[in-house]
Amino acid sequence: MLAQKQAEEAIVSNFSEAHDHEGKEDHHQDKEEENTSLFNVKNFLWHGGSVWDAWFSCASNQVAQVLLTLPYSFSQLGLLSGILLQIFYGIVGSWTAYLISVLYIEYRSRKEKENVNFKNHVIQWFEVLDGLLGPYWKAVGLAFNCTFLLFGSVIQLIACASNIYYINDNLDKRTWTYIFGACCATTVFIPSFHNYRIWSFLGLGMTTYTAWYLTIAAVVHGQKEGVTHTAPTKLVLYFTGATNILYTFGGHAVTVEIMHAMWKPQKFKYIYLFATVYVFTLTIPSATSVYWAFGDELLNHANAFSLLPKNAWRDAAVILMLIHQFITFGFACTPLYFVWEKVIGMHDTKSICLRALARLPVVIPIWFLAIIFPFFGPINSAVGALLVSFTVYIIPSLAHMLTYRKASARQNAAEKPPFFLPSWTAMYVINSFIVVWVLVIGFGFGGWASMTNFVRQVDNFGLFAKCYQCNSPKLPAAAAPHH
């Protein structure tokens, strides 16, 4: 047993040293290429792989347009349920992100023992599932992950059009979707998550401003005359709101790619939890204050911007959210770019222009779907129930249980259970609870409610809706039917 333990420690130590060495090599190579002294601008802005880079990536990727739909969810759930579900799904989401990080470390340590080199290869979630559990799991992981990221990108485009409309309503939302589709297509030039350092930092600053703008603007505005807070009133609305919150804290479909971009990926374990705690300081105050100010009126306004008075502060928030949604589009699309590159044999190509050209076909279906289904709030809930529930919660929990189902796998695990939960049995209990809860509440009730609500939007507005939930002063209020 002593010899086995020493061997395990040696493997983990070698894994850590390999990454330290790889990180140092990358830094050294970049410095030689740039031929600069101590301060390397390219590394500072472009080449990130630290713990802080990962934290900024997780936090900025978790909160984007969801900030604007959470007050809408509160109007469906009620204040107490809204806050409690945010905390619950935040903790559950952090746990499953931890499981994904453990499985990544397990996969990579096994491959490195086989002398596999990942220098020009980005490891993705479906490859981890393939290496640990076989081709069937790879197929399931690939299908759910790619579909989720596809619709995650679609949501960013819809959100861009929805937001810019509140600054300039001379063009309808569908036309703005055409324009922003072209703008977001430029993300094909960003090679990998190493290169999101400055974007992640700026993105989190933008959402922080927007969240506190929503909070302060709602408090300054005060409660609207005759405001009512009747939620929850209908099961359909309640579970629609609940799945939107499930979606909010299930933004880690790109966890493996963010980890792979780190110099020391084994340090990722608790980063997502720390990112979630920060996100709570943005989502809970903003959703609470906007719901307090406008109450049930939010049921007909999926985007919180639509109810706040037009002024320079709101315009600044809209512009910052637009920039951040561009960044988040890149976050969601980059793993899809990697998958497509691997399919067509272009993943090892070093030319940025060639890779960008190869990636363009990925953007076209996203653009098209955003034009077909421009339903801002309801599509979040539908994606949460049907895709996030499996991609982010159920599959990682099941994969962890099956990977370590044998005593030998548990003994030789690259990562042991966390210090606060040192028992494998306790981990199995938590994982089983998550699988059952999300399957019944998230996928079952949530899927029924969100699809019912989604179909209702299609019936009211039709596919290819020119201007979903437009209440511009140029249009009479009655012209836009709602729920």
Q: What number is the average pLDDT over the span 382-404?
A: 89
**CA–CA dist 138, 141 (Å, integer):** 5
pLDDT category at 340 given cuts 50, 70, 90 is confident
- Determine, yes or no, domain membership for 30: no
Residue 472 confidence (pLDDT) above 50: no
Q: Which amino acid is at 203?
A: G
- Determine, yes or no, domain membership for 325: yes
Residue 15 confidence (pLDDT) above 50: no
Q: What Cα–Cα distance (Å) separates residue 242 from each residue in 63, 126, 156, 258?
A: 16, 27, 20, 27
Q: Which residue has the higher pLDDT, 323 or 466?
A: 323
Residue 444 confidence (pLDDT) above 60: yes
| Residue 401 structure tokens | 């249980």
**CA–CA dist 231, 288 (Å, integer):** 13
Q: What number is the average pLDDT over the span 91-105?
A: 92
Stretch among 4-18, 178-192, 264-278, 323-337 having the lowest mean pLDDT = 4-18
Q: Output the pLDDT for position 5.
A: 46
Q: Which residue has the higher pLDDT, 386 or 291?
A: 291
**Residue 178 is inside which H or E element, if any?**
helix 173-184
Stretch among 257-266, 397-406, 433-442 having the lowest mean pLDDT = 257-266
- Determine, yes or no, domain membership for 35: no
pLDDT category at 323 given cuts 50, 70, 90 is confident
**CA–CA dist 471, 216 (Å, integer):** 23
- Determine, yes or no, domain membership for 476: no
Q: Output the pLDDT for position 462.
A: 59
Q: Output the pLDDT for position 459.
A: 67
Highest mean pLDDT among 9-13, 234-238, 290-294, 415-419: 290-294
Q: Output the pLDDT for position 42.
A: 52
- The whole model's pTM is what? 0.79
How many of the other CB atoms lie within 10 Å of CB of 188?
Answer: 22
pLDDT category at 82 given cuts 50, 70, 90 is very high
Number of domains observed in the structure of the chain = 1
Candidates 281, 230, 216, 225; CA nearest to 74 is: 230
Residues 6+ apart with CB under 8 A from 177: 157, 158, 160, 161, 367, 370, 371, 374
- Determine, yes or no, domain membership for 383: yes
HSE-CB of 86 using CA atoms within 13 angstroms? 27
Range of the structural domain that residue 323 is part of: 49-461
pLDDT in tens, 179-213: 887 887 888 877 666 566 677 788 889 999 999 99
- Determine, yes or no, domain membership for 376: yes
Do 90 and 249 form a contact (C-beta atoms < 8 A)? yes
Residues 6+ apart with CB under 8 A from 148: 253, 383, 387, 388, 391, 392
The three-state secondary structure class of 457 is helix
pLDDT category at 20 given cuts 50, 70, 90 is very low
The three-state secondary structure class of 338 is helix
Candidates 239, 195, 184; CA nearest to 451 is: 239
Q: Output the pLDDT for position 355.
A: 83
**CA–CA dist 446, 452 (Å, integer):** 10
Residue 95 confidence (pLDDT) above 80: yes
Q: Which residue has the higher pLDDT, 199 or 288?
A: 288
The three-state secondary structure class of 137 is helix
- Determine, yes or no, domain membership for 393: yes
Residues 6+ apart with CB under 8 A from 104: 123, 128, 255, 256, 259, 260, 265, 268
- Residue 410: exposure state from Cβ atoms within 10 A (0-12, 13-18, ≥19): middle
CATH of the domain at 389: 1.20.1740.10
* 425-442: b (≥16 Cβ within 10 Å) or e: eebeebbeebbeebeebb
Q: Which residue has the higher pLDDT, 343 or 288?
A: 288
**CA–CA dist 187, 178 (Å, integer):** 16
- Determine, yes or no, domain membership for 23: no
Q: Output the pLDDT for position 274.
A: 92
